[in-house]
């Protein structure tokens, strides 16, 4: 477990070698703590790598190989979960949250714009003193204390 | 209304906390078989003790059986051997051995020395049947119903507790039938 | 005897932190100055007794006292002394002691360096830190004492530390990381104290800013060191695995980054107070959540601690009290959204809000991805995994978009900026970064690559906008030298940190696109070519380390017939646990690393499995991380924090 998995898979076709690396990177070793097939030295990971190599040499497509693994080991082996109702939150959540965030910024800005229209003069006047405000604040507190 | 918004973080945290609480009682490493409630994969492999006999699924379909994945290189398999012998001695449930990625001579020798709880043994030399079954190590034990469907998988040593769990599942079937 | 002293010191530490948690807080509520003034000496006493306790454990390690269970499980007499000492935090109990020690250290630092703080504020802050301390020290004493003994008989020698941890990385990574995790407790305490006292003014933001920046910088350094350590030590050549343990450290860092920015707005402009308070609570809460995830066993990870549901339960209770309590106070006391200042859509305020949205969503994404398997499992819908392909797919677009906003924010002023002036400032950086980003993949990789184009353009955009803004500062300056000294340290810090982001982004882009690796079977005299370098395997020899034996290979690397370097990767077998470990060897460079790891012997040692990597610009990842943290530290030296302190002294006198 402590040593990196290094073994030799020879491919005639460099394109297949690349696909092999991609697949072994995206599939999880079912027995390990949290490792993909590339990194794991476990017996089962070796078997699965061999199987991937055989399937690639037999001209199977990536989805076919992934389906083969999922049929036997379940969704657990996919480091990239499939998009289905159960994983909608996972896949679409981040985009949704960003949109929500940007909407709330727009909402805050709208509220401010309204207020600004009512009290433009006052706001500018306030801002002139604003830089001083903080230091004054600190002073006042100190005076209270001593 | 804005005041109520300030409670959102608290509510979200309470939901999260509930899941974490639940998480403490779940073992993330315990994997159910992907083949649960699916038929045992087709195969055609030689028997361990009779190298010229070819076994297929037909050899055990028709009654509930336990399929036990074992190998001589697996120390935990030795630990569970007594329990398997005890189950076989009770005679309620047949055990089929799946000798996984092992050496034939060593495996035969093991059974001769420690006793043989198995009806017969499938000799899965290259582990390809194991792969079809979703095995990720030895020992693993599968409970099959009379139709040859996988109904339960136990990973690791078959302890008395694990055996009780298996018996409870079988009892469940009987009560449904009656 | 010393372990008992250590345990005893821990008990006294607990008593002091209980008093610290109660007395000054009551004093602040009843305006009793004497009770409030107990806070400082209590913080000192607490820290002293934790040091004693920690030294006792260190002594047990240094003297090979294997009657102490924790020492026997994590050390061995053959281990070199520096690893014996860093083994103090090599396991759950000791690392928790380090956690508690650092917490008391921060508490003491706040008591020592906050002369300008009004007494009641200081009392509340220290008291809240005392509450956190009470939680953690009692966690240590109740479930995880590192001083438990094997009695009456104990092992003759220790079980040895996991070989992966017998490394320089263990010496530096955990202390840095914990400094960050725990440092956020200061921002947390300030936020709660502000909520309790009702003084959520800009002064509060100014007080907690330096502390937050320091903690954030330490956390960033800790993460950077961890990534570098994993890269050279695990032998896979990877630098980030999106493992739950790594994610546990990334979440508070992301929220901390948002906090650092949001505090700036709150201090300078007095707005977004509620949001800033919430971030301060979350940054620390996520640190605690990380502790829970790493130590409870609810998630599987390559490098989690030995898990124990009882400990998990205890941390979950700590988390529930800390987060539940603070969020309740927040809900009751936080100011509801009120505008006190005005700004238009093209203002620094808005861009910092956008930055906060992106950073928060990133943190939420990490949380979601990390916990999703648990959620699905708890709902009874089976087991799934979420790994690097998911995180990469989601993170890259978010990071890219945020970097664009980063560049714009540089050119935008507080309150309001005209569109024309922004366009005037930014058109040149935009053109320059797009053009170089377009040329780069052709010049470097020999062909167009969309990812490289995007990654490089965005990174260069961040750098060029910073440079453009810096130059524009000198337009009306009399001499460059006076202007340089006029610019504040905060400004320099911001620039350095932003350039750090770009440097890391360049590293990520290039190393993930142009890396090459080969797994080879090599016998003596075999060679392989990778990215123009010729790696020749010259056989192995057996070498003996202090507590291991190793097969050491010699691999000569040449480029165009010129010798580049000779690397000696090892395959080690540690004497005690008998486990094998791959020790990779690396020729590091600013523009590329050559990385060689030794696998298994093949054909009875005639040949070896060898993995060779070519990793361009991988150092930039960590260089960027260091720059970000350096930037954070620079801001602390800003004059306005120092000025405040002197004035405080005068006022007190």
Q: What is the pLDDT of residues C34-71, one digit of tens each?
A: 898 899 999 999 999 999 999 999 999 999 999 999 99
**Cβ–Cβ contact B34 with A under 8 A:** yes
Q: Point out the residue among A30, A70, A71 whose CB comes nearest to the CB of B136.
A: A30
Are A71 and A99 members of one domain? no
Question: In this model, does residue C341 exceed pLDDT 80?
Answer: no
Residues 6+ away with beta carbon under 8 Å from C492: C631, C634
| Range scoring the smallest mean pLDDT among A30-44, C269-283, C301-315, C635-649 | C635-649
Q: How many Å apart are CA A127 and CA C149, to the nearest integer?
A: 65
CA dihedral over C26, C28, C29, C32, signed as positive or negative: positive
Give the C-alpha distances (Å, rounded to integers) separating C515 from C219, C518, C564: 28, 10, 19
For the beta carbon of residue B4, count every other beta carbon within 10 angstroms.
Answer: 9
Q: Which pLDDT score, from 0 to 100, does residue A126 have?
A: 41
Domain-terminating residue out of A77, A112, A128: A77
Helix pair C168-197, C202-233: axis angle to 10 deg:
160
Q: How many Å apart are CA C653 and CA C649, to the nearest integer?
A: 6
Q: Are C600 and C228 in contact (CB under 8 A)?
A: no
Question: In this model, does residue A142 exceed pLDDT 50?
Answer: no
Give the C-alpha distances (Å, rounded to integers) separating C291 from B119, C96, C177: 50, 9, 12
Question: In this model, does residue B135 exceed pLDDT 90?
Answer: no
Question: In this model, does residue B87 exceed pLDDT 50?
Answer: yes
Which positions in chain B touch A74 (Cβ < 8 Å)? Answer: 31-34, 134
The answer to whether the Cβ–Cβ distance between B131 and A72 falls below 8 Å is: yes
Residue with tokens 């989805």: A63
Question: Pick from C172, C66, C169, C53: which is nearest to C103 by CA?
Answer: C53
The answer to whether the Cβ–Cβ distance between B19 and C297 falls below 8 Å is: no
Which positions in chain B touch C331 (Cβ < 8 Å)? Answer: 6-7, 9-10
The answer to whether the Cβ–Cβ distance between C388 and A98 falls below 8 Å is: no
Q: What angle do CA A41, A44, A50 make, to 5 degrees?
A: 90
CATH code for the domain of A42: 1.10.8.640
The answer to whether the Cβ–Cβ distance between C328 and B10 falls below 8 Å is: yes
Q: Where are the beta strands (DSSP E) in C480-567?
A: 516-523, 527-530, 533-544, 548-559, 562-567
Give chain A's domain count. 2
Q: How many Å lie between the alpha carbon of A145 and the closest alpha carbon of chain B?
A: 32
Q: Which pLDDT score, from 0 to 100, does residue A113 have?
A: 62
| Range scoring the smallest mean pLDDT among B112-121, C5-14, C159-168, C302-311 | C302-311
How far out from the chain centre does Cα C275 lie? 23
Question: In this model, does residue B47 exceed pLDDT 60?
Answer: yes
In-domain check, residue A8: no
What's domain B34-177's superfamily in CATH? Glutaredoxin (3.40.30.10)
The answer to whether the Cβ–Cβ distance between B28 and C278 falls below 8 Å is: no
Q: How many Å apart are CA B151 and CA B169, to the nearest integer?
A: 9
User: Residue C380: which pLDDT band, with cuts at 50, 70 and 90?
Assistant: confident
Give the residue on C whose Cα is nearest the Cα of B8: C331
With H, G, I as helix, E, B as strand and everything else as coil, classify residue C523.
Answer: strand
Which positions in chain B touch A68 (Cβ < 8 Å)? Answer: none
**Cβ–Cβ contact C69 with B under 8 A:** no
Question: In this model, does residue C416 exceed pLDDT 80?
Answer: no
Q: Which helix (H) or strand (E) holds B87?
A: helix B75-90
**Cβ–Cβ contact B137 with A under 8 A:** yes
Q: Which of residues 273-302 of C touch B (CB under 8 A)?
A: 274, 278, 281-282, 285, 292, 296-300
Q: How many Å apart are CA B161 and CA B98, to the nearest integer?
A: 22
- Per-residue pLDDT, averaged over C502-507, amounts to 95
Q: Within a 13 Å sphere around the CA of C272, how many CA atoms are in the beta-carbon half?
A: 32
Give the residue on B whose Cα is nearest the Cα of A69: B134
Residues 6+ away with beta carbon under 8 Å from A116: A123, C342
Q: Are B120 and B49 in contact (CB under 8 A)?
A: yes
Q: How many Å lie between the alpha carbon of C331 and the closest alpha carbon of chain B?
A: 5
Give the residue on B whose Cα is nearest the Cα of C385: B28
Which positions in chain B touch C330 (Cβ < 8 Å)? Answer: 6, 9-10
Which positions in chain C touch B7 (Cβ < 8 Å)? Answer: 331
Q: Which pLDDT score, from 0 to 100, does residue C41 have?
A: 93
Q: How many Å apart are CA C370 and CA C367, to the nearest integer?
A: 5
- Per-residue pLDDT, averaged over B71-100, amounts to 87
Q: How many Å apart are CA C148 and CA A121, to the nearest integer?
A: 70
In-domain check, residue A1: no
Are A91 and A136 members of one domain? yes
Q: Which pLDDT score, from 0 to 100, does residue C303 have?
A: 63
Question: In this model, does residue B59 exceed pLDDT 80?
Answer: yes
Question: Pick from C557, C538, C516: which is nearest to C607 by CA?
Answer: C538
How far out from the chain centre does Cα B71 lie? 14
Range of the domain at A52: 14-77
- Per-residue pLDDT, averaged over C97-116, amounts to 92
**Domain extent listing, chain B:** 34-177
Q: Are C584 and C232 in contact (CB under 8 A)?
A: yes
Are A93 and A137 members of one domain? yes
Give the C-alpha distances (Å, rounded to integers) separating C436 from A36, C433, C450: 36, 5, 13
Q: pLDDT > 90: what percent of chain C?
A: 57
- Average pLDDT score, chain A: 76
Q: How many Å lie between the alpha carbon of B176 and the closest alpha carbon of chain C?
A: 24
Give the residue on A whose Cα is nearest the Cα of C357: A101
- Per-residue pLDDT, averaged over C540-560, amounts to 91
Which positions in chain C touch B16 (Cβ < 8 Å)? Answer: 371
Are A43 and A59 members of one domain? yes
- Average pLDDT score, chain C: 89
Q: Which pLDDT score, from 0 to 100, does residue C142 have?
A: 92
| A contact test, residue of B126, B136, B138, B156 with most A CBs within 10 A | B136
Q: Which helix (H) or strand (E) holds C507?
A: helix C489-514
User: Residue C340: which pLDDT band, with cuts at 50, 70 and 90?
Assistant: low
Strand order in the sheet with B140-144: B121-124, B94-100, B65-70, B140-144, B150-155
The interface predicted TM-score (ipTM) is 0.86
Residues 6+ away with beta carbon under 8 Å from C372: A81, A87, A89, A90, C384, C386
- Per-residue pLDDT, averaged over C314-324, amounts to 93
How far out from the chain centre does Cα A70 lie? 22
| C contact test, residue of B3, B19, B22, B23 with most C CBs within 10 A | B23
Bridge partners, C534 (sequence order)? C529, C558
Q: What angle do CA C446, C449, C454 make, to 5 degrees?
A: 130
Are A59 and A22 members of one domain? yes
């Amino acid at each position: 477990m402590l040593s990196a998995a290094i073994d030799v898979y020879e491919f005639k076709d460099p394109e297949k070698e690349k696909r092999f690396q991609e697949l072994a990177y995206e599939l999880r070793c079912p027995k390990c703590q949290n490792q993909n097939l590339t990194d794991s030295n476990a017996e089962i990971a070796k078997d699965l790598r061999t199987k991937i190599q055989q399937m690639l040499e037999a001209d199977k497509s990536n989805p076919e190989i992934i389906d083969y693994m999922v049929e036997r080991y379940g969704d657990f082996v996919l480091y990239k979960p499939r998009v289905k109702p159960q994983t909608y939150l996972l896949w679409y959540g981040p985009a949704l949250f960003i949109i929500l965030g940007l909407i709330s910024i727009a909402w805050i800005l709208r509220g401010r714009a309204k207020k600004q229209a009512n009290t433009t003069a006052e706001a500018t006047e306030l801002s002139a003193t604003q830089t001083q405000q903080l230091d004054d604040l600190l002073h006042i507190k100190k005076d209270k204390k001593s | 209304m804005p005041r109520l918004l300030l409670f959102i973080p608290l509510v979200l945290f309470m939901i999260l906390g509930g899941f974490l609480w639940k998480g403490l009682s779940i073992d993330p490493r315990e994997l159910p078989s992907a083949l649960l409630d699916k038929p045992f994969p087709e195969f055609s492999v030689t028997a361990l003790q009779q190298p010229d006999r070819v076994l297929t699924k037909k050899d055990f379909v028709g009654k509930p059986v336990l399929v036990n994945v074992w190998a001589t290189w697996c120390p935990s398999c030795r630990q569970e051997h007594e329990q398997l012998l005890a189950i076989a001695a009770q005679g309620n449930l047949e055990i089929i051995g799946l000798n996984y990625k092992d050496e034939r001579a060593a495996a035969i020798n093991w059974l001769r020395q420690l006793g043989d709880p198995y009806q017969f043994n499938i000799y899965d030399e290259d582990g390809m049947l194991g792969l079809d079954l979703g095995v990720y190590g030895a020992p693993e034990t599968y409970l099959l119903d009379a139709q040859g469907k996988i109904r339960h998988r136990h990973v690791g040593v078959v302890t008395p507790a694990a055996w009780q769990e298996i018996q409870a599942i079988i009892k469940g079937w009987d009560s449904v039938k009656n | 005897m010393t372990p008992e002293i250590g345990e005893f010191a821990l008990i006294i530490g607990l008593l002091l932190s209980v008093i610290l948690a109660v007395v000054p807080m009551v004093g602040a509520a009843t305006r009793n100055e004497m009770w409030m003034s107990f806070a400082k000496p209590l913080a000192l006493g607490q820290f002293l007794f934790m040091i004693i306790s920690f030294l006792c454990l260190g002594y047990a390690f240094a003297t090979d006292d294997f009657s102490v269970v924790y020492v026997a499980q994590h050390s061995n007499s053959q281990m070199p002394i520096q690893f014996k000492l860093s083994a103090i935090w090599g396991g759950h109990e000791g690392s928790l002691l380090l956690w508690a020690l650092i917490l008391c250290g921060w508490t003491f630092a706040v008591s020592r360096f906050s002369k300008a703080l009004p007494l009641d504020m200081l009392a509340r802050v220290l008291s809240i830190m005392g509450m956190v301390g009470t939680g953690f020290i009692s966690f240590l004493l109740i479930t995880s004492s590192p001083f438990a003994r094997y009695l009456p008989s104990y092992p003759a020698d220790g079980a040895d530390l996991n070989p992966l941890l017998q490394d320089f990385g263990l010496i530096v990574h955990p202390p840095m990381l914990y400094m960050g995790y725990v440092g956020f407790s200061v921002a947390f305490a300030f936020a709660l104290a502000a909520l309790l006292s009702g003084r959520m003014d800009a002064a509060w933001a100014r007080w907690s800013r330096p502390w937050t920046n320091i903690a954030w910088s330490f956390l960033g350094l800790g993460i950077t060191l961890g990534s570098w350590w994993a890269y050279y030590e695990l032998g896979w050549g990877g630098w980030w695995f999106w493992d739950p343990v790594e994610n546990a450290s990334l979440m508070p860092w992301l929220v901390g980054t948002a906090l650092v920015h949001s505090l700036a707005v709150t201090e300078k402009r007095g707005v977004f107070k509620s949001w800033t308070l919430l971030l301060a609570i979350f940054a620390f809460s996520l640190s605690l959540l990380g502790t829970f995830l790493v130590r409870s066993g609810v998630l599987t990870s390559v490098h989690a601690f030995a898990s124990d549901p009882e400990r998990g339960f205890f941390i979950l209770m700590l988390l529930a009290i800390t987060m539940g309590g603070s969020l309740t106070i927040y809900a009751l006391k936080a100011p509801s959204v009120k505008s006190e200042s005005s700004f238009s859509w093209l203002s620094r305020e808005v861009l910092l809000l956008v930055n906060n949205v992106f950073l928060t969503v990133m943190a939420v994404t990490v949380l979601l991805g990390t916990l999703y398997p648990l959620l699905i499992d708890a709902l009874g819908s089976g087991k799934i995994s979420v790994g690097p392909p998911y995180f990469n797919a989601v993170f890259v677009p978010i990071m890219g978009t945020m970097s664009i906003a980063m560049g714009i924010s540089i050119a935008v002023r507080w309150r309001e900026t005209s569109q024309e002036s922004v366009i005037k400032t930014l058109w040149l950086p935009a053109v320059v970064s797009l053009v170089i980003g377009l040329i780069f993949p052709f010049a470097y990789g020999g062909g167009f690559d969309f990812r490289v184009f995007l990654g490089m353009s965005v990174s260069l955009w961040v750098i060029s906008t910073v440079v453009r803004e810096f130059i524009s500062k000198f337009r009306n300056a009399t001499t460059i030298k006076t202007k340089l000294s006029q610019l504040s340290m905060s400004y320099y810090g911001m620039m350095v940190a932003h350039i750090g982001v770009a440097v890391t982004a360049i590293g990520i882009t290039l190393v993930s696109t142009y890396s090459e690796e080969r797994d080879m079977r090599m016998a003596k005299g075999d060679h392989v070519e990778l990215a123009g370098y010729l790696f020749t395997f010259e056989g192995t020899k057996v070498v003996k380390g202090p507590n291991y034996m190793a097969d050491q290979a010699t691999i000569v690397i040449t480029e165009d017939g010129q010798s580049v370097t000779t690397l000696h990767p090892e395959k080690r077998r540690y004497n005690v646990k008998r486990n094998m470990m791959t020790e990779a060897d690396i020729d590091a460079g600013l523009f590329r690393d050559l990385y060689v790891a030794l696998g298994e012997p093949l054909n009875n040692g005639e040949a070896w499995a060898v993995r060779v990597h070519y990793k361009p610009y991988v150092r930039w990842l960590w260089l960027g991380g260091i720059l970000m943290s350096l930037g954070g530290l620079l801001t602390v030296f800003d004059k306005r924090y120092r000025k405040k302190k002197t004035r405080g002294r005068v006022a007190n006198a």
